[in-house]
Amino acid sequence: MVHSPKIVHLNILDTDYAKIAAGEVIPEERRQRLAWGESVFKRLSQQIARYRYDDLDCQGRDDLLCSIAMTAELFTLADLEDINDRLRHTGTFYLTPGERQQIVNWLRDELAIDLMVNPDL
């Protein structure tokens, strides 16, 4: 049985895809300071690169920011319950401006990565 490959059309450049696959570079001194396992840093670097280079709408960017926050353990269970409650009531996943700013500030302060290159944040 021969299976034909499934072609998925991406709305990004090949170079952007390569950057996403490679991940964002997290400075070594920040890695040592946080002392997490390599798998956590790899996941964070790919999430950050996807945020920067993937063609995402506002909800997609918020989802990635939430994933970054979950990976870094920035949100408490109460924060997650608030997010889920908003989703149940509005039917739309989104972060508040304060939640977004908390994640952006953490990235800047702890990993020396500035996402404010994206003016839509």
Q: 6-41, pLDDT tens digit by residue?
A: 776 666 666 666 666 667 777 787 777 777 888 888
Judged on CB neighbours under 10 Å (0-12, 13-18, 19+), 88 is exposed
* pLDDT score of 117: 57
- Low-confidence stretches of the chain (pLDDT < 70) are 1, 8-22, 117-121
Computed on alpha carbons and rounded to an integer, the radius of gyration of the chain in Å comes to 16
pLDDT of 95 = 95
Structural domain boundaries in the chain: 14-117
User: How far is 11 from 113, CA to CA, in rounded Å?
Assistant: 25
Looking at residue 48, its pLDDT comes to 92
Q: Model's pTM, two decimal places?
A: 0.75
| Alpha carbon 91 to its chain's center | 21
Distance CA 54, CA 20 (A): 8
